[in-house]
Structure 1
């Protein structure tokens, strides 16, 4: 993973010098992950695709601001995608001038009972994840909470792709068993 990280950092440095080939390579190496970030936040494929294009415009314009060593290059790219997607969400919501209109709005959040149940379920899932081997639990979190692909996880844990698929399938079966106890 460290090699891939330094490759991405190198591409960002070349993009800062306005290297179009590096920009194209950076897009090829990172667009799937950044699209996942925009789609997860915006929950609309067309809007996420448009946001992704705007994210890469920002990357092109701001590549000179990346400082290797401060944080990983993929974290920097994800932060740009995340922040842009949140900006799109904020722009989507109309601003109300009339405070009285706010009193008529229903609270979209969970009621206290639902919130307590969700917290209990979250705790139960975490407890079940803790029963898995550390690397298996990490792989499950990476795949289903952080959005890493099977290929990225296989590379991260140094195992073949089919082994990673087996880890995840067996871990999910163990989680299901644990959650139904």
Structure 2
């Protein structure tokens, strides 16, 4: 095991422990969760919300959710950063779907806005190495239309309605396409585990 992998494992364990302690109401542990993840989660919120103030507001909501639901985190099911990023993504998408969020034009990539944290974390690199290849293999098994819909909705942060509009497919049809693709991905990932 390399020094980077050891460091990533240590960071992952520290974050998982801090989440578990936060579930018991430990404010210091929750502060550690915040310190270890705020830059990453803010970057997710900013990319999806498209404006700084909204991203800050959403990030605050994200940490309220984490404080209330820390006991729901299961380290055997996912990396702690993955769990937290999912909450941030979902809350940001909820904001985008709201009337306030629909009025905002998303920030284009490289749109002159400084990234909250442009350095990849070691644990992110390790997670990408471990899970990325397996996910890529499963994604390649999907049809082109399903694969494109999944990438747009879950990697580009678009709402299902945005994906449907871009592809010229009715919204209910797009929801079905994405749902079936997610089921196939889950089956594929479970088979490989």
Q: What residue number does 1:51 align with?
A: 58
Q: Which structure would you say has the larger RCO, counting Cα contacts within 8 Å and 6 or more residues apart?
A: 2
| Pair 1:33-2:40 in alignment | yes
Gaps of 5+ in 2: 1-7, 103-115, 127-193
TM-score normalized by the length of structure 1: 0.53
RMSD between aligned residues: 2.6
Question: After TM superposition, what 4+ stretches of structure 1 lie above 6 angstroms from structure 2?
Answer: none
Question: How big is each residue's C-alpha offset from its partner over 1:30-80, in whole Å with a ceiling of 9 and x where there is no partner?
Answer: 000000000010010000001000000000000010011101010000000
TM-score normalized by the length of structure 2: 0.50
| Pair 1:6-2:10 in alignment | no
Q: What residue number does 2:4 align with?
A: none
Match of 1:150, SS state, is coil
Gaps of 5+ in 1: 96-146, 158-181
Question: 1:148 deviation in Å?
Answer: 6.9
Which structure has the bigger radius of gyration? 1
* Distance change >3 Å, CA 94–CA 62, structure 1 → 2: closer
